[in-house]
Chain A
């Protein structure tokens, strides 16, 4: 019964967002309660074939695009996205929170380095492994898009560099744009996938120490603002995710907004030449607010070279992380490696080739969009305008990929947090119920629905009239349906350890 109830809630939740999901709810309701239960198990077992589950994800995205095309009232769409409420905070509270968060960050880094050096070699009992992978890369990363980006304050390397006098002696060349972060992100993902970083505390310690040296040196040389806002891939990932979050910082403090509306903010002002960028950035004394230091809108909607590529890299990185744990990948990799290709090379080629495919697909969509509406903007301009719409997709996929991992290993996290110096006893693992796969699939779909809405709102601003904004989205919707179905397929696959690693 509990399973049935949750499946119903999931469908009802989705139908609140989209009229076509309501049709799904109706249809399953007509069939019989038995099938509602079956639907909840659809991802791994049950009577709904997996191809139908994957196809349903695509249909939901396509249908929700049709639904949003009925909304052509510019003012109405703007009003929905502009809704916000000031979160009451006081300067004292903010200062205390910032101080506490910074202490936690620096203390955490020190404990991670300690545990990586002398801690237990059992990964699920080692503070470093558990805090880095479960607490930070899964848990904290989820808070950046579900709540707000606190990384600029928590970031221990930033705290350290801020305390050093004389940082920022050299200017970072503007031509670099987001490219160093693109390379850094792909390199981090490669290292994470091919090395036993999540199982070997000593190796993790070496990587964290190397990252620390590089980051501290770079941030000292170019200044913490330039380094963490532009070069450091980790800070950039969280800043991009943070734009999706309901808590956003502006000139007046912390605001509660609708999820995703931060991705649209500033679009109209930019077209009208009345930029709000300086207002937001000017108020940034940074250290005084928990969510300070986000250039956010300007970074995403700005003219920065390579930003579109960075967002696509973020989307691909999470997909790749899931793809290598599917049986299909393992079969393919086995054949290629047995033909004599080095395993590390196979993974590198797959990472780069898949990324290139995602990137080219997005460029093709922008080119088609330009042709359909007869625009005289360049494809690169159209891409960068709509790049924020990819963020909810990446976040939806991220939560689908990591929530189960986080929840099942959260007892281990609790144990190491209670005993940060070791001796937490035998680590426990929570077992997730079978319907959890459907919940994960739901996150992928919700991310895409939000993406459709964000893209629609951005299109209404960019392209003139009522029909051009809608038609401009045809190629992007086709790409989104393809991304959804790929992600839904990956999520629905049984987990296997990547071969040869």
Chain B
């Protein structure tokens, strides 16, 4: 029944010292370990975040920060900001929420052009499929 067990791998967690508010661990039941862990910057290696997901920072990879609420590491500041605002919207601070809103606005601009390409790809797929069927069924060529 290991799926029922609480997260016990606190000793592996590493939190961003710059981003973590002082009280971030208070709302989390640390159990036996973790409370006495010294906070350190994210280093290369494996860890387990508080959702039970394994994190991995390879030697050649950089880290923008680890989420103060769930310990998950992120490679870019934008991903970090978006994660904090999306997943921990109820817990995050005003500045974190502003950073989230900025990152989201930037993504939305990019999303429009992305969707433009998606629609073009769908139209191309449609056209090719119809043409292939017309040739295959109509001419006996294929």
Interface of A toward B, CB cutoff 8 Å = 19-20, 23-24, 26-28, 30-31, 35, 38, 47-49, 52, 55-56, 59, 62-63, 66-67, 69-70, 72, 74, 174, 177, 225-226, 229-230, 268, 270-273, 277-278, 281, 295, 298-299, 302-304, 373-381, 385, 463-468, 470
Q: Tell me whether A52 and B3 are in contact in the complex, defined as CB-CB below 8 angstroms, given that A27-B130, A376-B63, A377-B72 are known contacts.
A: no
**Across the two chains, which residue of chain B brings its CB closest to A172?**
B1
**Across the two chains, which residue of chain B brings its CB closest to A298?**
B3
Q: Decide: A464 and B86 in contact? CB cutoff 8 A.
A: yes
Q: Tell me whether A378 and B56 are in contact in the complex, defined as CB-CB below 8 angstroms, given that A277-B3, A298-B3 are known contacts.
A: yes
Instruction: Output the least CB separation between A6 and chain B (Å).
Output: 19
Q: Decide: B88 and A69 in contact? CB cutoff 8 A.
A: no
Instruction: Output the least CB separation between A243 and chain B (Å).
Output: 14
Q: Give chain A residues whose Cβ lies under 8 Å from the Cβ of B61.
A: 376
- Residue B25 is within 8 A (CB to CB) of chain A in the complex: no
CA distance A342 to B128 in the complex (A): 47
Q: Decide: B52 and A303 in contact? CB cutoff 8 A.
A: yes
Q: Give chain A residues whose Cβ lies under 8 Å from the Cβ of B50.
A: 273
Q: Decide: A225 and B1 in contact? CB cutoff 8 A.
A: yes
Q: Decide: B4 and A277 in contact? CB cutoff 8 A.
A: yes
Q: Tell me whether A273 and B70 are in contact in the complex, defined as CB-CB below 8 angstroms, given that A19-B122, A177-B2 are known contacts.
A: yes
Q: Give chain B residues whose Cβ lies under 8 Å from the Cβ of A385.
A: 53
Q: Decide: B126 and A23 in contact? CB cutoff 8 A.
A: yes
Q: Tell me whether A303 and B125 are in contact in the complex, defined as CB-CB below 8 angstroms, given that A74-B86, A377-B72, A381-B54 are known contacts.
A: no
Q: Decide: B129 and A23 in contact? CB cutoff 8 A.
A: yes
Instruction: Output the least CB separation between B88 and chain A (Å).
Output: 7
- Residue B46 is within 8 A (CB to CB) of chain A in the complex: yes
**Across the two chains, which residue of chain A brings its CB closest to B115?**
A70
Residues of B in contact, count (CB < 8 Å): 57
Q: Decide: B79 and A468 in contact? CB cutoff 8 A.
A: yes
Instruction: Output the least CB separation between B73 and chain A (Å).
Output: 4
- Residue B75 is within 8 A (CB to CB) of chain A in the complex: yes
Instruction: Output the least CB separation between B25 and chain A (Å).
Output: 12
CA distance A19 to B129 in the complex (A): 13
Instruction: Output the least CB separation between A69 and chain B (Å).
Output: 5
The one of B3, B82, B107 that contacts A299, using a Cβ cutoff of 8 Å: B3
Instruction: Output the least CB separation between A473 and chain B (Å).
Output: 12
* Contact digits for B52-89, partner A, Cβ 8 Å, 1 yes 0 no: 11111100010100000110111110111111001110
- Residue B132 is within 8 A (CB to CB) of chain A in the complex: yes
Q: Tell me whether A464 and B56 are in contact in the complex, defined as CB-CB below 8 angstroms, given that A27-B130, A35-B137, A69-B118 are known contacts.
A: no
Q: Give chain B residues whose Cβ lies under 8 Å from the Cβ of A226.
A: 1
Q: Decide: B142 and A52 in contact? CB cutoff 8 A.
A: yes
Q: Decide: B122 and A63 in contact? CB cutoff 8 A.
A: yes
Q: Give chain B residues whose Cβ lies under 8 Å from the Cβ of A304.
A: 2-3
Q: Give chain B residues whose Cβ lies under 8 Å from the Cβ of A63.
A: 122, 125-126
**Across the two chains, which residue of chain A brings its CB closest to B85?**
A464
Q: Give chain A residues whose Cβ lies under 8 Å from the Cβ of B28.
A: 273
* Contact digits for B124-138, partner A, Cβ 8 Å, 1 yes 0 no: 011001101110111
Instruction: Output the least CB separation between A228 and chain B (Å).
Output: 12
Instruction: Output the least CB separation between B44 and chain A (Å).
Output: 10
Q: Give chain A residues whose Cβ lies under 8 Å from the Cβ of B82.
A: 464-465, 468
Q: Give chain A residues whose Cβ lies under 8 Å from the Cβ of B87.
A: 268, 271-272, 464
- Residue B36 is within 8 A (CB to CB) of chain A in the complex: no
- Residue B108 is within 8 A (CB to CB) of chain A in the complex: yes
- Residue B111 is within 8 A (CB to CB) of chain A in the complex: yes
Q: Give chain B residues whose Cβ lies under 8 Å from the Cβ of A23.
A: 126, 129-130
CA distance A54 to B76 in the complex (A): 40
CA distance A66 to B54 in the complex (A): 29
**Across the two chains, which residue of chain B brings its CB closest to A277?**
B4
Q: Give chain A residues whose Cβ lies under 8 Å from the Cβ of B73.
A: 376
Instruction: Output the least CB separation between B61 and chain A (Å).
Output: 7
Q: Decide: A20 and B53 in contact? CB cutoff 8 A.
A: no
- Residue B38 is within 8 A (CB to CB) of chain A in the complex: no
- Residue B110 is within 8 A (CB to CB) of chain A in the complex: yes
Q: List 17 A-B contacts (CB under 8 A).
A: A27-B130, A31-B138, A47-B136, A52-B132, A52-B142, A66-B122, A174-B2, A273-B28, A273-B50, A374-B79, A379-B56, A464-B74, A464-B81, A464-B83, A465-B107, A467-B114, A470-B114
